Amino acid sequence: MFALSFHEFAHAWMASKCGDNTAARMGRLTLNPMAHLDVMGSMMILFVGFGWAKPVPVDGRNLENPRVDMMKVAAAGPLSNLLLAMLAGMVFRLLNGTGLLSESIYLLILYFTQINIALAVFNLIPVAPLDGSQIFSAYLMRKNPQLAWKIQSYGPQVLFGLILFGYITGFSILWLFMRPFVNFFMILFWYIIFVTSMTSITMKNMKIIFFRVFFYFFYKFF
């Protein structure tokens, strides 16, 4: 639930930075999970293992540059989850070798990291009402307005259908699409954590790390 709350808080924070205080006035600029709680989404988490929080309200009329700022607000959510995943890795790095890293704590950190990466990847899918639809909508509107309109109009039904299909059959089409990206970011994050524990990180090192992980990922999973 904290991952979802932090995700929505990031949307509200970015909207405020871009000039729209609608979410702040409605009490959404907070990390308190109760402010972001959605009853149906919470029930889905308990019974299905998948759910959502209340979307943060954003009034595009208050934004300084509506097209660009809406993309920033949308991107803030997934980026916040990647940040949490990185922070979890840093906690692991600090505890590793101290004797404080028990198996249960290690599994908790691993689970927390994977949950946040999966949430980020899921929200980047360019289907309404996910953040990815807002991030890529400006590009689609210029290239193919009809496709953009269809994604916005029929996206929620398609998304719900895919989730329901996975729940009923036990075969998730969404996870089939998401898994390679989740695995890639998991390997990338943990590789960075272990490498930075042995050497100072530079932009050149980051490029080397990225390409090493990229080729290792495709060698292992494809």
Residue 193 tokens, joined: 């954590």
Q: How many CB atoms lie under 10 A from the CB of residue 48?
A: 12
Residue 16 has pLDDT above 90, yes or no: yes
Residue 40 has pLDDT above 80, yes or no: no
User: 42-64: per-residue pLDDT in tens?
Assistant: 776 666 666 678 889 999 899 98
* 60: DSSP letter: G
Mean pLDDT for the stretch of residues 65-94: 89
Per-residue pLDDT band at 27 (split at 50, 70, 90): very high
Task: Please give the span between the terminal C-alpha atoms of the chain, in angstroms, as a whole number.
Answer: 33
Q: What pLDDT score was predicted for residue 96?
A: 78
Weakest-pLDDT range from 112-116, 188-192, 201-205: 201-205
Q: How many CA atoms lie within 13 A of 173 on its CB side?
A: 10
0.95 exceeded by the pTM? no
Cβ neighbourhood burial of 92 (10 Å; 0-12, 13-18, 19+)? buried
Answer whether the bond into residue 57 is a cis peptide, omega within 30°: no
- Whether residue 156 contacts residue 149, with contact meaning beta carbons closer than 8 Å, is answered with no
Range among 54-68, 127-141, 158-172 with highest mean pLDDT value? 54-68
Residue 64 is a catalytic residue: no
Q: What is the dihedral of CA 91, 92, 98, 101, to 10 degrees?
A: 110
Residue 133 has pLDDT above 90, yes or no: no
User: 162-201: per-residue pLDDT in tens?
Assistant: 888 887 888 888 888 888 888 888 877 777 666 655 444 4
The active-site residue, picked from 3, 8, 28, 192, is 8
Q: 219 vs 212, 214, 222, CA distance in Å?
A: 11, 9, 6
CA 165 to chain centre: 22
